[in-house]
Amino acid sequence: MKFLLALAFLTGCTQKYADYDLIRKVDFNRQSFERPVTRTQALPTGKDELENCFNQWLFFSNAEKEKEEAIPNLVRALCPRESYLMDTKMTETWWTTIFFTRSCVEIETSCAAEKK
User: Which is more confident, 19 or 33?
Assistant: 19
Residues spanned by the domain of 110: 12-114
Residue 2 lies in a domain: no
Give the model confidence (pLDDT) of 69-90 as tens digits.
Answer: 999 999 999 999 998 999 999 9
What per-residue confidence (pLDDT) applies to 68? 92
Residue 51 lies in a domain: yes
Total of domains in the chain: 1
What per-residue confidence (pLDDT) applies to 50? 95
Residue 64 lies in a domain: yes
Residue 7 lies in a domain: no
Count other Cβ atoms within 10 Å, centred on residue 90: 19
* pLDDT of 105 above 90: yes
Q: Is the pTM of this model over 0.95?
A: no
What is the SS3 assignment for 26-62?
Answer: HHCCCCCCCCCCCCCCEEEEEEEEEEEEEEEECCCCC
